[in-house]
Protein backbone atom coordinates (compact mmCIF):
# COMPACT_ATOMS: atom_id res chain seq x y z
CA UNK A 1 0.00 0.00 0.00
CA UNK A 2 1.39 3.38 -1.03
CA UNK A 3 0.66 6.63 0.77
CA UNK A 4 -2.28 8.81 -0.06
CA UNK A 5 0.03 11.00 -2.15
CA UNK A 6 -0.32 8.41 -4.90
CA UNK A 7 1.64 5.54 -6.52
CA UNK A 8 4.18 8.05 -7.81
CA UNK A 9 5.33 8.72 -4.27
CA UNK A 10 5.30 12.52 -4.58
CA UNK A 11 5.64 14.10 -1.14
CA UNK A 12 5.90 17.83 -1.75
CA UNK A 13 5.64 20.19 -4.71
CA UNK A 14 9.05 21.06 -6.13
CA UNK A 15 10.41 24.40 -7.18
CA UNK A 16 10.83 24.71 -10.93
CA UNK A 17 14.46 23.60 -11.04
CA UNK A 18 15.34 20.54 -13.10
CA UNK A 19 16.83 17.72 -11.00
CA UNK A 20 20.30 16.43 -11.77
CA UNK A 21 21.38 12.81 -11.51
CA UNK A 22 24.23 12.52 -9.01
CA UNK A 23 26.37 10.03 -7.18
CA UNK A 24 25.93 9.80 -3.42
CA UNK A 25 29.16 11.62 -2.64
CA UNK A 26 28.20 14.54 -4.92
CA UNK A 27 25.18 15.65 -2.86
CA UNK A 28 25.38 19.35 -1.99
CA UNK A 29 22.99 21.77 -0.25
CA UNK A 30 20.47 23.65 -2.39
CA UNK A 31 20.71 21.16 -5.23
CA UNK A 32 17.69 19.32 -6.56
CA UNK A 33 18.74 15.78 -7.36
CA UNK A 34 17.43 12.47 -8.62
CA UNK A 35 18.90 9.01 -8.78
CA UNK A 36 18.57 5.32 -8.05
CA UNK A 37 19.95 4.23 -4.70
CA UNK A 38 20.06 1.18 -2.45
CA UNK A 39 18.27 1.50 0.89
CA UNK A 40 21.13 0.51 3.21
CA UNK A 41 19.38 1.33 6.52
CA UNK A 42 16.03 2.67 7.72
CA UNK A 43 14.94 4.19 11.03
CA UNK A 44 11.65 5.70 12.19
CA UNK A 45 11.73 8.70 14.49
CA UNK A 46 9.18 10.93 16.19
CA UNK A 47 9.40 14.71 16.44
CA UNK A 48 8.58 16.85 19.46
CA UNK A 49 5.01 17.26 18.28
CA UNK A 50 4.56 13.51 17.96
CA UNK A 51 4.75 13.53 14.17
CA UNK A 52 6.74 10.60 12.79
CA UNK A 53 9.60 10.95 10.31
CA UNK A 54 11.73 8.42 8.47
CA UNK A 55 15.49 8.34 8.11
CA UNK A 56 17.00 6.44 5.19
CA UNK A 57 20.65 5.74 4.53
CA UNK A 58 20.81 5.55 0.74
CA UNK A 59 23.89 4.26 -1.03
CA UNK A 60 25.60 3.62 -4.31
CA UNK A 61 29.14 2.68 -5.31
CA UNK A 62 30.54 6.03 -4.22
CA UNK A 63 29.16 6.11 -0.68
CA UNK A 64 26.00 6.93 1.26
CA UNK A 65 23.44 9.72 1.68
CA UNK A 66 21.65 10.59 4.90
CA UNK A 67 18.04 11.15 3.78
CA UNK A 68 14.78 12.15 5.48
CA UNK A 69 11.09 11.71 4.71
CA UNK A 70 8.98 14.16 6.70
CA UNK A 71 5.51 13.47 5.27
CA UNK A 72 3.55 10.20 5.40
CA UNK A 73 6.47 8.57 7.18
CA UNK A 74 4.54 5.58 8.52
CA UNK A 75 3.14 4.72 5.12
CA UNK A 76 6.59 4.81 3.55
CA UNK A 77 8.03 2.88 6.46
CA UNK A 78 5.58 0.08 5.70
CA UNK A 79 6.09 0.10 1.93
CA UNK A 80 9.85 0.53 1.57
CA UNK A 81 11.99 -2.18 3.18
CA UNK A 82 15.74 -2.15 3.60
CA UNK A 83 18.03 -3.59 0.90
CA UNK A 84 15.87 -2.58 -2.07
CA UNK A 85 16.51 -0.12 -4.87
CA UNK A 86 14.51 3.10 -4.93
CA UNK A 87 14.20 5.94 -7.43
CA UNK A 88 14.49 9.19 -5.52
CA UNK A 89 14.07 12.92 -6.08
CA UNK A 90 14.86 15.47 -3.43
CA UNK A 91 16.62 18.59 -2.28
CA UNK A 92 20.02 18.79 -0.65
CA UNK A 93 19.86 20.71 2.64
CA UNK A 94 22.37 21.51 5.35
CA UNK A 95 21.60 20.40 8.90
CA UNK A 96 24.02 20.65 11.84
CA UNK A 97 26.91 21.11 9.47
CA UNK A 98 26.08 18.04 7.38
CA UNK A 99 24.35 17.67 4.05
CA UNK A 100 21.11 15.72 4.06
CA UNK A 101 18.67 14.79 1.32
CA UNK A 102 15.09 15.94 1.90
CA UNK A 103 13.17 13.38 -0.15
CA UNK A 104 10.30 14.79 -2.18
CA UNK A 105 9.57 11.77 -4.36
CA UNK A 106 10.41 8.11 -3.88
CA UNK A 107 9.33 4.91 -5.64
CA UNK A 108 10.53 1.35 -5.67
CA UNK A 109 12.84 0.75 -8.62
CA UNK A 110 10.79 -1.29 -11.14
CA UNK A 111 13.57 -3.43 -12.62
CA UNK A 112 15.00 -6.67 -11.22
CA UNK A 113 18.72 -5.97 -10.99
CA UNK A 114 21.75 -7.09 -9.01
CA UNK A 115 21.78 -4.76 -6.00
CA UNK A 116 25.47 -5.44 -5.34
CA UNK A 117 26.18 -3.12 -8.28
CA UNK A 118 25.09 -0.30 -5.94
CA UNK A 119 27.57 -1.27 -3.22
CA UNK A 120 30.94 0.46 -2.89
CA UNK A 121 33.83 -1.64 -4.11
CA UNK A 122 37.59 -1.61 -3.99
CA UNK A 123 39.54 -1.23 -7.22
CA UNK A 124 41.67 -4.26 -6.31
CA UNK A 125 41.58 -7.11 -8.83
CA UNK A 126 41.17 -10.55 -7.19
CA UNK A 127 44.03 -11.89 -9.32
CA UNK A 128 46.29 -9.14 -7.99
CA UNK A 129 45.14 -9.87 -4.44
CA UNK A 130 46.09 -13.54 -4.72
CA UNK A 131 49.44 -12.65 -6.30
CA UNK A 132 50.23 -10.25 -3.46
CA UNK A 133 49.22 -12.78 -0.80
CA UNK A 134 51.38 -15.48 -2.34
CA UNK A 135 54.30 -13.04 -2.54
CA UNK A 136 53.89 -12.40 1.18
CA UNK A 137 53.73 -16.15 1.77
CA UNK A 138 57.06 -16.66 0.01
CA UNK A 139 58.70 -13.91 2.06
CA UNK A 140 58.01 -15.78 5.30
CA UNK A 141 61.11 -17.40 6.79
CA UNK A 142 59.10 -20.00 8.73
CA UNK A 143 58.32 -23.08 6.65
CA UNK A 144 55.52 -23.99 9.07
CA UNK A 145 53.83 -20.60 8.64
CA UNK A 146 54.27 -20.85 4.86
CA UNK A 147 52.37 -24.13 4.95
CA UNK A 148 49.65 -22.63 7.12
CA UNK A 149 49.13 -19.63 4.83
CA UNK A 150 49.10 -21.98 1.85
CA UNK A 151 46.11 -23.84 3.29
CA UNK A 152 44.15 -20.58 3.35
CA UNK A 153 45.16 -19.52 -0.16
CA UNK A 154 44.61 -22.96 -1.70
CA UNK A 155 41.00 -22.98 -0.47
CA UNK A 156 39.51 -21.43 -3.62
CA UNK A 157 36.05 -20.93 -2.11
CA UNK A 158 37.50 -19.11 0.90
CA UNK A 159 39.85 -17.00 -1.24
CA UNK A 160 37.01 -15.95 -3.55
CA UNK A 161 34.89 -14.92 -0.56
CA UNK A 162 37.88 -13.15 1.03
CA UNK A 163 38.38 -11.05 -2.12
CA UNK A 164 34.71 -9.95 -2.06
CA UNK A 165 34.21 -9.40 1.66
CA UNK A 166 34.05 -5.93 3.24
CA UNK A 167 36.23 -5.20 6.26
CA UNK A 168 33.22 -3.76 8.11
CA UNK A 169 29.56 -2.86 7.60
CA UNK A 170 30.06 0.90 7.80
CA UNK A 171 33.11 2.00 9.79
CA UNK A 172 36.15 1.44 7.57
CA UNK A 173 36.90 -0.31 4.27
CA UNK A 174 33.14 -0.89 3.98
CA UNK A 175 33.23 -1.96 0.36
CA UNK A 176 33.39 -5.09 -1.74
CA UNK A 177 37.03 -6.10 -1.55
CA UNK A 178 37.56 -3.94 1.51
CA UNK A 179 38.79 -6.83 3.65
CA UNK A 180 41.49 -7.67 1.10
CA UNK A 181 42.54 -4.02 0.86
CA UNK A 182 42.72 -3.67 4.66
CA UNK A 183 44.57 -6.96 5.08
CA UNK A 184 47.17 -6.31 2.38
CA UNK A 185 47.80 -2.82 3.74
CA UNK A 186 48.33 -4.24 7.22
CA UNK A 187 50.69 -6.94 5.96
CA UNK A 188 52.83 -4.34 4.23
CA UNK A 189 52.82 -2.17 7.34
CA UNK A 190 53.86 -5.20 9.39
CA UNK A 191 57.06 -5.51 7.36
CA UNK A 192 57.81 -1.79 7.69
CA UNK A 193 57.12 -1.58 11.42
CA UNK A 194 58.92 -4.80 12.36
CA UNK A 195 61.95 -3.96 10.23
CA UNK A 196 62.11 -0.50 11.79
CA UNK A 197 62.33 -1.92 15.31
CA UNK A 198 64.60 -4.80 14.35
CA UNK A 199 67.09 -2.27 13.01
CA UNK A 200 67.07 -0.75 16.50
CA UNK A 201 67.89 -4.09 18.04
CA UNK A 202 64.37 -5.02 19.17
CA UNK A 203 63.70 -8.76 19.00
CA UNK A 204 60.37 -9.20 17.23
CA UNK A 205 59.04 -12.12 15.20
CA UNK A 206 58.13 -10.43 11.92
CA UNK A 207 56.59 -13.59 10.47
CA UNK A 208 54.10 -13.74 13.32
CA UNK A 209 52.97 -10.14 12.84
CA UNK A 210 52.64 -10.58 9.06
CA UNK A 211 50.62 -13.80 9.39
CA UNK A 212 48.61 -12.22 12.20
CA UNK A 213 47.67 -9.41 9.80
CA UNK A 214 46.34 -12.01 7.35
CA UNK A 215 44.43 -13.96 9.98
CA UNK A 216 43.15 -11.23 12.31
CA UNK A 217 39.94 -10.47 10.38
CA UNK A 218 39.71 -13.73 8.42
CA UNK A 219 36.45 -14.55 10.23
CA UNK A 220 34.74 -11.63 8.49
CA UNK A 221 34.50 -13.81 5.40
CA UNK A 222 31.76 -15.69 7.26
CA UNK A 223 30.56 -12.86 9.50
CA UNK A 224 29.42 -10.46 6.75
CA UNK A 225 27.29 -10.98 3.67
CA UNK A 226 27.44 -9.05 0.40
CA UNK A 227 24.33 -10.54 -1.19
CA UNK A 228 22.22 -7.36 -1.07
CA UNK A 229 24.04 -5.14 1.38
CA UNK A 230 26.73 -5.44 4.02
CA UNK A 231 24.83 -7.32 6.70
CA UNK A 232 25.69 -9.76 9.43
CA UNK A 233 25.05 -13.42 8.73
CA UNK A 234 23.37 -15.58 11.37
CA UNK A 235 26.68 -17.16 12.33
CA UNK A 236 28.25 -13.71 12.31
CA UNK A 237 25.75 -12.38 14.83
CA UNK A 238 25.93 -15.46 17.04
CA UNK A 239 29.70 -15.99 17.08
CA UNK A 240 31.43 -12.92 15.59
CA UNK A 241 34.51 -12.71 13.40
CA UNK A 242 37.03 -13.30 16.20
CA UNK A 243 35.59 -16.69 17.14
CA UNK A 244 35.09 -17.59 13.47
CA UNK A 245 38.71 -16.71 12.77
CA UNK A 246 39.89 -18.87 15.67
CA UNK A 247 37.77 -21.79 14.42
CA UNK A 248 39.25 -21.59 10.91
CA UNK A 249 42.77 -21.35 12.30
CA UNK A 250 42.18 -24.43 14.48
CA UNK A 251 40.95 -26.43 11.46
CA UNK A 252 43.96 -25.39 9.39
CA UNK A 253 46.42 -26.25 12.14
CA UNK A 254 44.77 -29.66 12.61
CA UNK A 255 45.53 -30.42 8.95
CA UNK A 256 49.29 -29.91 9.45
CA UNK A 257 51.27 -32.72 11.08
CA UNK A 258 53.41 -31.70 14.05
CA UNK A 259 52.36 -28.04 14.03
CA UNK A 260 54.05 -26.56 17.12
CA UNK A 261 51.55 -25.94 19.92
CA UNK A 262 53.35 -22.77 21.17
CA UNK A 263 53.08 -21.29 17.67
CA UNK A 264 49.40 -22.26 17.46
CA UNK A 265 48.80 -20.64 20.85
CA UNK A 266 50.49 -17.40 19.82
CA UNK A 267 48.51 -17.20 16.58
CA UNK A 268 45.28 -17.70 18.53
CA UNK A 269 46.31 -14.91 20.88
CA UNK A 270 46.97 -12.58 17.94
CA UNK A 271 43.41 -13.07 16.68
CA UNK A 272 41.82 -12.90 20.14
CA UNK A 273 43.61 -9.68 21.15
CA UNK A 274 43.77 -7.64 17.95
CA UNK A 275 40.99 -5.24 19.08
CA UNK A 276 43.31 -4.24 21.89
CA UNK A 277 40.97 -3.37 24.76
CA UNK A 278 37.96 -4.96 26.39
CA UNK A 279 35.81 -1.90 25.60
CA UNK A 280 36.60 -2.42 21.90
CA UNK A 281 35.23 -5.96 22.03
CA UNK A 282 38.57 -7.68 22.53
CA UNK A 283 38.27 -10.98 24.47
CA UNK A 284 41.91 -10.55 25.51
CA UNK A 285 44.30 -7.62 25.62
CA UNK A 286 47.64 -8.01 23.81
CA UNK A 287 50.22 -9.70 26.03
CA UNK A 288 53.13 -10.12 23.61
CA UNK A 289 55.12 -7.62 21.57
CA UNK A 290 53.81 -9.11 18.32
CA UNK A 291 50.20 -8.83 19.52
CA UNK A 292 50.74 -5.21 20.57
CA UNK A 293 52.24 -4.34 17.21
CA UNK A 294 49.41 -6.08 15.36
CA UNK A 295 46.79 -4.14 17.33
CA UNK A 296 48.48 -0.81 16.66
CA UNK A 297 48.89 -1.59 12.95
CA UNK A 298 45.19 -2.49 12.79
CA UNK A 299 44.27 0.76 14.54
CA UNK A 300 46.47 2.78 12.18
CA UNK A 301 45.08 1.29 8.98
CA UNK A 302 41.46 1.35 10.14
CA UNK A 303 41.72 4.97 11.29
CA UNK A 304 43.26 6.03 7.98
CA UNK A 305 40.38 4.24 6.26
CA UNK A 306 37.80 6.06 8.40
CA UNK A 307 39.37 9.47 7.77
CA UNK A 308 39.81 8.85 4.03
CA UNK A 309 36.20 7.72 3.66
CA UNK A 310 34.93 10.77 5.55
CA UNK A 311 37.01 13.14 3.45
CA UNK A 312 35.79 11.59 0.21
CA UNK A 313 32.19 11.93 1.36
CA UNK A 314 32.76 15.61 2.22
CA UNK A 315 33.66 16.47 -1.37
CA UNK A 316 34.74 20.09 -1.65
CA UNK A 317 33.75 20.99 1.92
CA UNK A 318 36.53 22.14 4.26
CA UNK A 319 35.11 20.11 7.15
CA UNK A 320 33.35 16.78 7.36
CA UNK A 321 30.28 16.29 9.47
CA UNK A 322 30.74 14.54 12.80
CA UNK A 323 32.37 11.19 12.06
CA UNK A 324 30.60 8.77 14.46
CA UNK A 325 33.52 6.35 14.77
CA UNK A 326 35.80 9.20 15.90
CA UNK A 327 33.18 11.48 17.49
CA UNK A 328 34.59 14.62 15.87
CA UNK A 329 34.61 16.79 12.77
CA UNK A 330 37.62 16.36 10.47
CA UNK A 331 39.35 18.99 8.37
CA UNK A 332 39.46 17.67 4.83
CA UNK A 333 42.76 19.26 3.83
CA UNK A 334 45.78 20.39 5.76
CA UNK A 335 46.84 24.06 5.57
CA UNK A 336 50.20 22.75 4.41
CA UNK A 337 48.49 21.52 1.25
CA UNK A 338 47.28 24.98 0.28
CA UNK A 339 48.61 26.42 -2.95
CA UNK A 340 51.94 28.10 -2.33
CA UNK A 341 53.42 30.78 -4.52
CA UNK A 342 57.07 30.23 -5.27
CA UNK A 343 58.71 33.55 -4.46
CA UNK A 344 62.28 32.30 -4.84
Residue 51 sits at φ, ψ, to 5 deg, of: -80, 130
Helix 234-254 vs helix 143-154: angle between axes, to the nearest 10 degrees?
A: 130
- CB neighbours of residue 201 within 10 Å: 6
Contact 186, 303 (CB under 8 A): no
pLDDT tens, position by position, 16-63: 445 567 677 777 888 888 889 989 889 999 988 999 999 998 888 887
Assigned CATH topology for domain 119-308: Hypothetical protein af1432 (1.10.3210)
pLDDT at residue 23 in the model: 75
Rounded to whole angstroms, what are the CA distances from 267 to 38, 90, 144, 249? Answer: 39, 51, 12, 8
CA contacts within 13 A on the Cβ side of 76:
30
Q: How far is CA 302 from the centre of its chain?
A: 9
Q: Is the confidence at residue 197, as pLDDT, over 90?
A: yes
Name the CATH superfamily, with its identifier, for domain 20-117.
Nucleic acid-binding proteins (2.40.50.140)
CA contacts within 13 A on the Cβ side of 289:
11
Rounded to whole angstroms, what are the CA distances from 315 to 24, 103, 185, 267, 275? Answer: 10, 21, 24, 41, 31
CA dist., res. 151 & res. 253, Å (int): 9
At 186 the three-state DSSP class reads: helix
DSSP assignment string, 160-185 = HHHHH--S-SSSSS-SBTHHHHHHHH
- Segment 167-180 shows an average pLDDT of 84
Mean pLDDT of the chain: 86
For the chain, give every domain's residue range: 20-117, 119-308
Q: pTM for this one?
A: 0.79
Among 58-72, 109-123, 236-250, 282-296, name the one with the lowest average pLDDT: 109-123
CA contacts within 13 A on the Cβ side of 292:
4
Amino acid sequence: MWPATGRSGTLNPMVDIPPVTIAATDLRPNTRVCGTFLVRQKRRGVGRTGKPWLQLVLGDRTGTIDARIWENADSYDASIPERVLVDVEGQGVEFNGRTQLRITRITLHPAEVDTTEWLPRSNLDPVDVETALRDHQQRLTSAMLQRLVGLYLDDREWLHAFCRAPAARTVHHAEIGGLAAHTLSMMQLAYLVCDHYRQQGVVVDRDLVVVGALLHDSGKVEELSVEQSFEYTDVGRLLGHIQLGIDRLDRAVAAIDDFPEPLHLHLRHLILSHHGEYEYGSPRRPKTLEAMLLHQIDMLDSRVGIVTQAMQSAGDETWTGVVPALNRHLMTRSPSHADDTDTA
